[in-house]
Amino acid sequence: VVREGSFKHVKELSDEILGYLADRNLNPIRYTWNAKGENILRKIQRAKQALPV
């Protein structure tokens, strides 16, 4: 969790993020998509109805 005051400089935060990503990329884990297409399309339709376009 990044909280206000956790890092004194943007570069310090950026270095931490890049270090985290470098470590994570050493042992990547495949993401398995679980959502069904029809459920996604239903959510899109509901969002279109709810948002003024």
Yes or no: say if 41 and 30 are a contact pair by the CB < 8 Å rule.
Answer: no
Chain segment 10-39, per-residue pLDDT in tens: 999 999 999 999 999 999 999 898 999 999
Chain segment 41-52, per-residue pLDDT in tens: 999 999 999 998
Report pLDDT for 52: 81
Angle at alpha carbon of residue 37, lines to 28 and 33, rounded to 5°: 15
HEC letters along the chain: CCCCCCCCCHHHHHHHHHHHHHHHHHCCCCCCCCCCHHHHHHHHHHHHHHCCC
Report pLDDT for 1: 76
The CA distance from 26 to 12, in Å, is: 22
